[in-house]
Amino acid sequence: MLDNDIERVIYSRDQIQQRVKELGKQLTHDYAGNKNLVVVDVLTGASLFTIDLLEHMDVYCRMDFVDVSSYKGGTSSTGTVTLLHDLKNDIKGKDVLICEDIVDTGRTLKFLMDLLDGRGANSIKVCTMLDKPSGRLVDAKADYVGFNVPNEFLVGYGLDYDGYYRNLPYVGVLKPEVYEHHND
């Protein structure tokens, strides 16, 4: 059903799961002995990735959620990021690992890093499933990257189009007609 709307699979379920496992192993190594870690799931897109990643992170960690929204100002590239849902817990003095679905312009990430830094986090690192380095407009860098991807609009494994397709187990590109019939 959903498969019919996909033109091309970029990363298969197996490729993603393999990479998530590797990232989890790396993070387990890097945060070994730390009992101060808070994993922050950036809603909604990063949720599938974060949950899978946590399964492979054999460390003491707590979990929290944040929701942000980015708006594009008309046709210009000026985007502002708004906080829609804040963390439940105080992160002062904590080691924070921000989990993202994808970093494009970097605005969302920069906003979050500045916010958490301002609250006195002890350290802030970023793990993103996908990175689009060619889309970067502000200085923001992920410490852990699942895959680098070209500047195309992707869906699946958390990534949406109009709220749909997040539940695809792989990452792919939509058929052009899906956009064309968007307002039907």
Q: Which sequence positions are flagged as catalytic?
A: 104
171-174 sheet: strands from edge to edge: 6-11, 171-174, 154-155
Q: Which is nearer to ligand 5GP, 59 or 128 (CB)?
A: 128
Does the footprint of ligand 5GP cover residue 80 (CB under 6 A)? Answer: no
Residues 136-165 touching ligand 5GP, rule: CB under 6 A, are 153-155, 159-161
Q: What is the dihedral of CA 105, 89, 85, 2, to 10 degrees?
A: 70
Give me the half-sphere count of Cα atoms (radius 13 Å) on the Cβ side of residue 142.
26
Compute φ and ψ for 182, nearest 5 degrees. Answer: -55, -40
Does the footprint of ligand 5GP cover residue 6 (CB under 6 A)? Answer: no
105 binds, among ligand 5GP, Mg ion, none (CB under 5 to 8 A by kind): ligand 5GP
179: helix, coil or strand?
Answer: helix
- Shortest Cβ 61–Mg ion spacing (Å): 20
Among 38, 102, 115, 129, binds ligand 5GP (CB under 6 A): 102
Does the footprint of ligand 5GP cover residue 105 (CB under 6 A)? Answer: yes
Q: How are the residues of the chain apportioned to helix, strand and coil, as percentages rounded to the nearest 5?
A: 30, 35, 35
Among 59, 108, 115, 142, binds ligand 5GP (CB under 6 A): 108
Residues that bind ligand 5GP (CB under 6 A): 45, 70, 101-109, 153-155, 159-161
